[in-house]
Chains A and B, each alone.
Chain A
Amino acid sequence: DVKVTQSSRYLVKRTGEKVFLECVQDMDHENMFWYRQDPGLGLRLIYFSYDVKMKEKGDIPEGYSVSREKKERFSLILESASTNQTSMYLCASSSQGWNTIYFGEGSWLTVV
């Protein structure tokens, strides 16, 4: 069974803290993605990566960075968390091309 695992399901962080959201996939997929889901706005892409050490900005990259040091792991970093980054974050992966995307279960982040 394919699996995308987000290590932190629920986090509460203070404004200004550095936050790491970790994601691991076991399908040897080339592509990995970070989305955020907000009511009324749908799924919006923050960053994606199509290979180790490669990254591309999505639609809303401001305030975020990413790291992909190993093929199976894609980390989302909030350098200085702000309250407008309170959201649900979804990690996903896919093989090359426009193939099915497999999602993790999501990480709920609250910034206070």
Chain B
Amino acid sequence: ILNVEQSPQSLHVQEGDSTNFTCSFPSSNFYALHWYRWETAKSPEALFVMTLNGDEKKKGRISATLNTKEGYSYLYIKGSQPEDSATYLCASPSGAGSYQLTFGKGTKLSVIP
């Protein structure tokens, strides 16, 4: 089983603060890295799928970077809002030809108004 780790486990920030968290994965045999946002009582929702080393993706105030050589991805949220409160999950395929994603345990973000 692929080891995908996320830190921190949980995070509380004030509204307006910017924040970031980390996803770590084995740098060998890298194929893709997914980020999802999971709000309470809703379905997990895709944010980004990243495949290339050095890739940067942006969606509104949320952006992500990818370093496949050292095995990590950062998710950044600029000017956090209460609606950003959610659990953020990263995931990576378990192997070549495998459609099985291994998920990290997530970072739970709470934005305090």
A residues within 8 Å of B by Cβ?
A: 4, 31, 35, 40-45, 48, 50, 56, 58-59, 90, 94, 96-106
Contacts and interface: CB of A to CB of B under 8 A. Distances in A.
A43 B43 contact: no
Contacts, number: 56
Contact of B99 (A42, A48, A105): A48
Interface string B17-51: 00000000000000110101000001111100101
Contact of B46 (A56, A59, A100, A106): A100
A106 B49 CA distance: 22
Contact-size category for B: 20 to 34
Contact of B43 (A4, A40, A42, A56): A4
B43 A104 contact: yes
B34 A100 contact: yes
A99 B12 CA distance: 31
Nearest to B43: A103
Given A40-B105, A42-B106, A59-B1, A98 B43 contact: no
A105 B51 contact: no
B101 A45 contact: yes
Contacts of B100: 45, 48, 56, 58
Contacts of B105: 40-42
B89 interface: yes
